[in-house]
Amino acid sequence: DSQVLTVLSGNPDLTAESGDTYTVGLVWTPEFGLTATVDYWEISLDDAISSYGIQAILDGCYADGNQDLCALVTRDPLDYQVTKVVDNTLNIASQGAKGVDTELRYLWPTDFGEFEFGIVWSHLLERTKTAFKGAPEEDLSGRLTDPTAQDGGGYPTDKANFQAQWTWQGLTVSYLAEYISSLDADTFCNCGTGNRPDGTYIQTIDSQVYHDLTASYNCGGDTPMKGITLAAGLT
């Protein structure tokens, strides 16, 4: 395999990133112990600090004849082989995200202790990225991308937490469930059927639910163990 010397550097001419954030929310608190909250949020980021990436520079210079990108490539004057590529940081990217967050909580006092229920649900409507001007806009929602790349990682469309808790005379029992929706992961493999033209293969990661059960007891009172809390949990 051939290797190309690459210079990754900062840039003294960088300017501050600029962004806009828009949010609107509604809170409803009736008298019977229920609290409901709904929030819509939207974020856009312009002039984001990023870099072209080595492959994008070489592709843009060779395939598109982009002279700005070709200026970042140094070739040997004798055999015209690429000897160096400069990939410094620039204000070239833009990003955006939209989503809805919902929370419901209910408090129920009884003669046998206090019960509390809650659910938090976050729905990602959009998570876009444009690597540089002229590049196609990508929607990362519902995808798992290379965690070593810029903006890499998981962007599940839905995430939710459910909690139920019972408290009575120093005893507390809690149950927590965490839900993460399925993801499409980009992988590079020789998988045959299912491969896309660029060599990637979409691997589906199933949705997951994680469970946590905990119990604690505050000894309290005038016992020798006053101020001590015993706790145990199961995940």
Is the per-residue pLDDT at 1 higher than 70? no
- Sole residue written with tokens 């998981």: 154
More confident residue, 142 or 63: 142
Is the per-residue pLDDT at 226 higher than 80? no
Is the per-residue pLDDT at 115 higher than 70? yes
Is the per-residue pLDDT at 221 higher than 90? no
User: How many alpha carbons lie under 13 Å from residue 55 in its C-beta half-sphere?
Assistant: 2
Q: What is the pLDDT of residues 24-45, one digit of tens each?
A: 999 999 888 899 999 999 999 9
Question: What distance separates the 2 farthest-apart alpha carbons in the chain?
Answer: 90
pLDDT at 3: 80
pLDDT at 181: 96
Mean pLDDT confidence for 175-192: 82
DSSP calls for 133-183: TTSPPEE-TTEEE-TTSTT-EEE-SEEEEEEEEEEETTEEEEEEEEEE--E
Q: Which tokens hold the place of 4?
A: 């190309």
Mean pLDDT confidence for 116-128: 95
More confident residue, 61 or 2: 61
Q: What contacts 211, CB < 8 A, 6 or more positions away?
A: 175, 176, 177, 235
DSSP-derived pairing of the beta strands 200-205 and 143-145: unpaired
Q: What is the pLDDT of residues 44-102, one digit of tens each?
A: 998 888 888 888 888 888 888 888 888 889 988 888 888 899 888 888 888 899 999 99
Q: How far is CA 102 from CA 25, 57, 122, 188, in A?
A: 10, 42, 6, 36
pLDDT at 202: 75
pLDDT at 206: 93
CA proximity to 19, closest of 51, 52, 49, 48: 48
Contact by Cβ (8 Å): 160, 119: yes
The per-residue pLDDT of the chain, averaged, comes to 86
55: phi then psi, degrees, rounded to nearest 5: -65, -40
Q: What is the 3-state secondary structure (H, E, C) of 102-122?
A: EEEEEEEEECCEEEEEEEEEE
